[in-house]
Chains A and B, each alone.
Chain A
């Protein structure tokens, strides 16, 4: 299997504080990898380090191309779409403007328009609200909007930071169902960070377990699901 993203010796720092200690991981092309761990384990930091949003060291390669020193916006332009913690909604723009922002970086306007239609087939609820100011959407709708914005970039890889955060269980189920079909139908690889381990294990085929900025263990989802000691120690169920 080829890796779409490969990180070696990835470290990250917030000022003088080190948050990641030489983490290695790889994401299979077309697969879904989950990053699990407790609060403060460095999951969000890992995603931010991949996109160069924090001070970091180590190497990250996208399809073999070194992206370690690229600016965030250039990494995004190479096909890495980051759905950030807190959803990153442009609250003062309309839903439509939130989505059409992607047109700014897409050369192929026809493909971008197709992706807009695609987004509306995945999330018909957003289509009903295109003219609405995005800040007035519910939490679940804003999460859908965040995923849609990422999808509008026509990505190869999606980085998802706690898509279930603060949402009602039914909405979470819907979003995860849609994420699965995006992965299967649009062939978008995914790296997903989740507090809700059970949920993430269902979606992911591969898991990395983080603790205080280090990888504790990694392997196929089934391995972690079946290892009761591991589950109790790190995932709390």
Chain B
């Protein structure tokens, strides 16, 4: 029983991180219809920036905020300078571009900061809530940060005119232009926000898995699974999908297939969802009169 609870708790923690990765994927998918394969590596690179800032003596939360800002600017610049020129390129060219970004970030991190594994601090106190090693404060913090972030994003999209303009641009770009919305800037903004969300995911996961250039590879796969489970166009679904995938992965890993095969379980989820329910659990089918 204790093992079960422990697995569920740690499943929720990794689920929160998958949820952040999935949120970043959904942000870009919703605004541009693309799947950003470099999402994980961008997050990893941002985490290194945070690490470097902390090493330079900056306090944790300042480094946290600064990293989000830098990641946001980075995402924005990637969209403006790399993806905008490819606006009319075929999908395959974009996929190649995303994979190139992935390996560029991976190698750059290795070159700049070396491939040796590094410790990354957690902002939350050590120890755990129950005293029996069940739920650590870091785990609670990770879940809390994710939920807060989802809340902020929801408010942004629902209650601000900028959020509304971004949604409109994603839904019908030419009609949004006719309402005066600068669509290409909305896409850039989407990229910036996705990069910032990814940075948060990286900084939350690094204390658990340790920081190295390959730390996000597996996590990105889980993130994909989470986004698909939730319905790839649905931010709230992505978060729930993240928790579902995190908990399932841990339970299946512990009780059925063993920890070595956990990652293949994520792939099973991806293939399963695509085969059986491509819209995901919460994928909304828009009602449309024709």
Q: Enumerate chain A interface residues (CB-CB to B < 8 A).
A: 51, 53, 71-73, 76-77, 81-82, 84, 88-93, 97, 100-105, 133, 135-139, 149, 153
Contact = CB atoms under 8 A, between A and B. Distances in A.
A77 B178 CA distance: 9
Contacts of A153: 179-180
Contacts of A133: 286-287
Contacts of A149: 179
Contacts of B174: 53, 84, 88
Nearest to A149: B179
Nearest to A76: B180
Contact of B289 (A72, A82, A138): A138
Contacts of A73: 177, 180-183
Contacts of A88: 172, 174-175, 178
Indicate the member of A51, A91, A139, A149 with the most B CB atoms within 10 Å.
Answer: A91
A98 to B, nearest CB: 8
Most buried by A among B171, B175, B176: B175
Contacts, number: 85
Contact of B178 (A76, A97, A103, A104): A76
A220 B168 CA distance: 39
A39 B106 CA distance: 55
A92 B171 contact: yes
B267 interface: no
Interface residues of B, number: 22
18 contacts: A53-B177, A72-B177, A73-B177, A73-B181, A76-B177, A81-B178, A88-B178, A90-B168, A90-B171, A93-B171, A101-B176, A102-B179, A103-B161, A104-B165, A104-B180, A104-B181, A137-B289, A153-B179
A105 B171 contact: no
Contacts of A71: 177, 182
Contacts of B162: 104
A81 B167 CA distance: 20
Interface in B265-290: 286-289
Interface in B130-165: 161-162, 164-165
A87 B152 CA distance: 33
Interface string B97-130: 0000000000000000000000000000000000
